[in-house]
């Protein structure tokens, strides 16, 4: 779908509720399916990715009912074989976390994904699961993945990358290991929703620095209302920051420090941002964010903060075009393994709009402030974060732009454009 984006507003004003967090929606479905009893999940994401996870657990025999955004799960704590391939769609989180769940089962499963997911690296989970004793075949360490029944044993795994998907996969496999402690360490801390929610549901899990350890545990069902996704909120923060006279309030946002790298960076760039009404939901920090147009300056983004803002880098690149001076993003080579090669993709498409941006091996360098001239077509590379970031870039282009493949935004944020339009003043 082609989407024409143009400057048909003066500024952005008002208050919106940001839709449910994608990472939490996946985890709520997976963990509730493994917990014996009735779980209630309110404000479940309407993105396509969490719905891929939901359908998979229905296929695995779990009783899951959906009324609007409320999900009721009645589980006996066990899963049943599904004779057909389990379709993870575009979702890396689904494929990697579900592999951890299926590795220790007494039945065979096959996981498949769409074209983009089928190109993404799965060695990062196949390797540790195999060390645990899993019997897995794949297409040269990519999907489709076939998982055969075996019994797993505990390992102490040191991951070379900071990845919540890898960490969660190993912890979910470790949850089923009869004896011993399964541990996973990572170079920097990645998002820790798995640790927090599993603990909340009664798992025997402990954290020491960047090492997480788990023992076989029975999970208790949950009653949870999922908070708003900071990765979705990021597009709106950026809009308010770069469009003169804007001021918006984003309600009910997850503020877990393993996700708030974006807030730390925009503060460093000079953003006028306030966090209001902080509260706690199932062990997670939640609050509202008020953000206003600001004169930004460039900065360096590298090291431990990268996993805490990994999904926000495409929109940070857009922001940086409007910041005075140079923004250097380093140590972000993991971006090349996302739904698209996000370094190559955002650099090439922002260049078309007139941005001064260049690719480096592990990131990018942006010089600002630049007036984006637009008047071009940009590509989304089947990637939701590209679709939304380029749409926001379109709002500040002098001439309208056409975003090809804008429908990919539905992967995480089907109401994105509707909410943008509600804030136009």
Say whether residue 23 binds ligand S3P (CB under 6 A): yes
Residues 204-223 that bind ligand S3P (CB under 6 A): none
Query: Nearest to residue 223, comparing CAs of 31, 390, 81, 90?
Result: 31
* Contact of 371 with 418, CB cutoff 8 Å: no
Q: How far is CA 205 from each of CA 77, 111, 175, 199, 218, rounded to the nearest angstrom?
A: 19, 27, 9, 6, 12
Q: Which residues does 253 contact at the CB level (< 8 Å), separation at least 6?
A: 18, 227, 228, 229, 230, 233, 286, 287, 288, 289
Residue number, 39 or 90, with CB nearest to ligand S3P: 90
Dist CA 398 CA 5 (whole Å): 11
Q: Could you give phi then psi for residue 315, rounded to 5 degrees?
A: -75, -30
Alpha helices in 19-161 (DSSP H): 22-34, 48-59, 92-102, 123-131
The distance of closest approach from Cβ of residue 310 to ligand S3P in the complex, given in angstroms and rounded to an integer, is 5
Say whether residue 54 binds ligand S3P (CB under 6 A): no
Active site residue 311: yes
Contact letters for ligand S3P, residues 83-122 (x by CB under 6 A): ----------x-----------------------------
Residue with tokens 């431990």: 304
Q: Where are the beta strands (DSSP E) in 175-314?
A: 182-185, 204-208, 211-215, 223-225, 247-254, 272-281, 284-292, 296-297, 300-301
Residues 163-182 that bind ligand S3P (CB under 6 A): 163-165, 168
Instruction: Tell me which stretch binds ligand S3P (CB under 6 A): 31-39, 125-133, 147-155, 159-167.
Output: 159-167
* Contact of 375 with 397, CB cutoff 8 Å: yes
The distance of closest approach from Cβ of residue 165 to ligand S3P in the complex, given in angstroms and rounded to an integer, is 3
Say whether residue 125 binds ligand S3P (CB under 6 A): no
Query: For residue 188, what are its two tokens?
Result: 């920097």
Instruction: Tell me which stretch binds ligand S3P (CB under 6 A): 3-11, 161-169, 258-266, 392-400.
Output: 161-169
Residue number, 86 or 243, with CB nearest to ligand S3P: 86
Residues 308-337 that bind ligand S3P (CB under 6 A): 310-311, 334
Alpha helices in 139-247 (DSSP H): 164-174, 193-200, 230-242
**Exactly one of 49, 229, 288, 311 is catalytic; which is it?**
311
Say whether residue 288 binds ligand S3P (CB under 6 A): no
Count Cβ atoms within 10 A of the Cβ of residue 401 and give its class: 0-12 exposed, 13-18 middle, 19 or more buried: buried
Instruction: Tell me which stretch binds ligand S3P (CB under 6 A): 162-170, 219-227, 361-369, 413-421.
Output: 162-170
Query: For residue 181, what are its two tokens?
Result: 């402690």
The distance of closest approach from Cβ of residue 70 to ligand S3P in the complex, given in angstroms and rounded to an integer, is 21
Contact letters for ligand S3P, residues 177-206 (x by CB under 6 A): -------------xx---------------
Residue number, 243 or 282, with CB nearest to ligand S3P: 282
Residue number, 334 or 383, with CB nearest to ligand S3P: 334
The distance of closest approach from Cβ of residue 184 to ligand S3P in the complex, given in angstroms and rounded to an integer, is 12
Question: How many Cβ atoms are within 10 Å of 285's Cβ, its own excluded?
Answer: 17
The catalytic site residues sit at 311
Kindly list the residues in this chain that would bind ligand S3P in the complex (CB under 6 A): 23, 26, 93, 163-165, 168, 190-191, 310-311, 334
């Amino acid at each position: 779908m082609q989407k024409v984006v143009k400057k048909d507003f003066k500024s952005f004003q008002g208050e919106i509720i940001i839709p449910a967090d994608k990472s939490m929606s996946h985890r709520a479905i997976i963990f509730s399916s493994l917990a014996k009893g009735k779980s209630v999940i309110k404000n479940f994401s309407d993105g396509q990715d969490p719905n891929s996870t939901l359908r998979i657990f229905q296929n695995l025999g779990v009783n899951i009912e959906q009324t609007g955004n409320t999900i009721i799960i009645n589980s006996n704590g066990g899963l049943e074989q599904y004779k057909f391939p389990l379709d993870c769609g575009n979702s890396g989180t689904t494929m990697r976390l579900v592999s951890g769940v299926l590795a220790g089962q007494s039945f065979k499963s096959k996981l498949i994904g769409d074209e983009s997911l089928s190109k993404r690296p799965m060695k990062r989970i196949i390797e540790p699961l195999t060390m645990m004793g899993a019997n897995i075949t794949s297409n040269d360490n990519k999907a489709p993945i076939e998982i055969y029944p075996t019994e797993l044993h505990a390992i102490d795994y040191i991951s070379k990358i900071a990845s919540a998907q890898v960490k969660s996969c190993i912890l979910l496999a470790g949850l089923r290991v009869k004896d011993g402690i399964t541990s996973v360490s990572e170079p920097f801390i990645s998002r820790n929703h798995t640790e927090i929610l599993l603990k909340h549901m009664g798992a025997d899990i402990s954290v020491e620095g960047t090492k997480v350890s788990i023992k076989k545990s029975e999970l208790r069902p949950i009653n949870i209302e999922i908070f708003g996704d900071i990765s979705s909120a990021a597009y709106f923060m950026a809009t308010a920051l770069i469009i003169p006279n804007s001021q918006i309030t984003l309600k009910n946002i997850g503020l877990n420090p393993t996700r708030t790298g974006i807030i730390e960076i925009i503060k460093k760039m000079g953003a006028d941002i306030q966090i209001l009404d902080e509260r706690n939901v199932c062990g997670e920090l939640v609050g509202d964010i008020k953000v206003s147009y600001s004169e930004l300056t460039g900065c360096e983004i590298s090291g431990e903060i990268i996993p805490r803002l990994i999904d926000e880098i495409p929109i940070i690149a857009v922001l940086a075009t409007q910041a005075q001076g140079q923004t250097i993003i380093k140590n972000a080579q993991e971006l090349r393994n996302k739904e698209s090669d996000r370094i190559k993709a955002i650099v090439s498409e922002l260049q078309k709009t007139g941005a001064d941006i260049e690719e480096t091996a592990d990131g990018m360098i942006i010089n600002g402030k630049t007036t984006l001239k637009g008047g071009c077509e940009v590509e989304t590379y089947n990637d939701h974060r590209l679709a939304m970031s380029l749409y926001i870039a379109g709002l500040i282009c002098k001439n309208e732009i056409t975003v090809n493949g804008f429908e990919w935004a539905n992967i995480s944020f089907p109401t994105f454009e509707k909410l943008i339009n509600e804030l136009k003043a």
